[in-house]
C-alpha cells in the first residue's frame, strides 16, 4: 500500500520535521509513506479575488501533476466531512480491502485548494473548523494515519 501526502510549500520548522519523521518511521511497517512537496506560488500579501484564484489555480496544477488516475484522493478542506479517528480507520481499512492500494491526501497552500483539485478528490476531509498552519496539519494528518493503522490492528495506542 502507498500513502502519499501532496502538499504545497516546504516544511521549515525542525520540530514539525522531527514529529513527521517519527510517525513516518512508525508508518513504514504498514505502508510506503511519502510526502511530495510542490512549490507555493509567490504572491504579495494583499491580493484581489482574481489574483487569489490565479495563485490557487497554479498551485492546483502542480498538485494535480503529482496525482495519477488510480489514486484515491482525500482533499483536506474546512468544509469537508469530519470523521472520528475510528471512522477514519474504518474508511482506510475499507478502501484497502476493496482494492485502493494508492491513497493520496492533499493539503493546499495558504489560500486553500483550487476548485479543480476539490473536483478531482474522491472525498473531502476536515479536521474541524479551526484554521491550522499547514505545517502543523502535516504532522496532525501523519499522526492520524498512523493512529488509523493502530486502531485497525487492535493496538492499545488509541486510548
Rounded Cα gap, residues 108 and 6, in angstroms: 8
107: CB partners within 8 A, 6+ apart: 5, 6, 7, 8, 76, 134, 137, 138, 141
**Joined grid coordinates for residue 70:** 488510480
Radius of gyration of the chain (CA): 16
Q: Is 76 marked as binding a ligand?
A: yes
Annotated binding-site residue? 108: yes
What CA–CA distance (Å, rounded) separates 6 from 9?
Answer: 10
CA dist 20 and 138 (Å) reads 7
The 3-state DSSP class for residue 156 equals coil
Cell numbers linked to 2:
502507498
Mark the binding-site residues for S-adenosyl-L-methionine, compressed into ranges.
76, 108
Mark the binding-site residues, compressed into ranges.
76, 108
Amino acid at each position: 500500500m502507498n500513502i502519499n501526502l501532496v502538499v504545497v510549500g516546504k516544511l521549515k520548522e525542525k520540530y514539525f520535521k522531527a514529529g513527521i519523521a517519527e510517525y513516518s518511521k512508525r508508518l513504514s511497517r504498514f505502508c510506503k509513506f511519502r510526502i511530495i512537496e510542490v512549490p507555493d506560488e509567490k504572491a504579495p500579501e494583499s491580493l484581489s479575488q482574481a489574483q487569489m484564484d490565479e495563485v490557487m489555480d497554479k498551485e492546483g496544477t502542480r498538485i494535480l501533476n503529482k496525482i495519477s488516475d488510480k489514486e484515491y484522493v482525500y482533499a483536506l478542506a474546512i468544509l469537508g466531512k469530519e470523521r472520528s479517528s475510528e471512522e477514519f480507520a474504518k474508511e482506510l481499512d475499507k478502501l484497502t480491502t476493496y482494492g485502493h492500494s494508492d491513497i493520496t491526501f492533499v493539503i493546499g497552500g495558504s489560500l486553500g485548494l483550487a476548485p479543480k483539485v476539490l473536483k478531482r478528490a474522491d472525498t473531502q476531509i476536515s479536521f474541524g473548523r479551526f484554521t491550522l498552519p499547514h505545517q502543523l496539519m502535516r504532522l496532525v494528518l501523519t499522526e492520524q494515519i498512523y493512529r488509523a493503522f493502530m486502531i485497525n490492528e487492535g493496538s492499545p495506542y488509541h486510548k
